[in-house]
Structure 1
């Protein structure tokens, strides 16, 4: 046998094998529907997860901003009780109607010229309104911010009535 005869015989054999393995026409019917039935719910799930990540990230940034605003407001106050009140007001205003529960802790132990004030804010955010179908769940975000108390504030503001001895010119 020649090489041409072997090649022709091999080609016929490959055609017969290929024809036997070929699917009949219409064998792919319904595959698009199955792909959509699987793909669309997965796409919706990905979109919901992305929305949840966005809402949770925004809540974390808001809690950090509230802690910083509270610390700054507390550092501008003249007395520790006024600092606690100012920090609480500032943090609450920053997180208006965003938290299910809000905890604000103001540490005024170092409240003197050159000292610092520390504010910790904890906010619990619910996921119930996230999807519109009422999924249960909640996450608590916590942030701490520290702000220094100005060393020279007694020069610019003058002594406050009932101020600490550190806030007067005698210190």
Structure 2
């Protein structure tokens, strides 16, 4: 018996798995970063849509158009903060249509979200996300708080 260990695989292919891994690892890393980018953009779109819905509902409950605009903006800011979304630029457009009972209130939220922290992908510095939501004004809203 010789002192050499027996190896089933010897020859010129020794260490080729390590070399292949070193060559493929950067591509796998870029693919992973791209998936993270796709997730972050789609998650932000869903959160902005939810913020628009909350802002429209808050505006539809208001008594005056000025209060509706104020309530929609403050609700959007609060909802964004609680959702963990940071906007470089936030625009909340509120169309109250006179705020008459039975009318529709439409709120459009536009948020510019940062993407430049995934710089290895060469992504743009930000993405502008839009969402709109419509909420009906309660037809019995004028009767709230009044004595019969």
> Is the TM value for this pair above 0.5?
yes
Distance in 2 (CA, whole Å) between partners of 1:153 and 1:135 is 47
Unaligned runs of 5+ in 2: 1-9
Q: Map 1:7-156; keep pairs closer than 5 Å.
A: 26-96=11-81, 98-130=86-118, 136-156=124-144
Q: CA deviation at 1:136?
A: 4.6
Which one has more relative contact order, counting CA pairs under 8 Å at least 6 apart?
A: 2
Q: CA RMSD in A?
A: 2.3
Over 3 Å counting, the alpha-carbon distance change for 1:134 and 1:93 in structure 2 is farther
Unaligned runs of 5+ in 1: 1-24, 160-171
Deviations 1:115-145 (A, max 9, x none): 0110000111111224699965211110000
Return the TM-score normalized by structure 2.
Answer: 0.81
Distance in 2 (CA, whole Å) between partners of 1:35 and 1:134 is 25
Q: CA deviation at 1:27?
A: 2.2
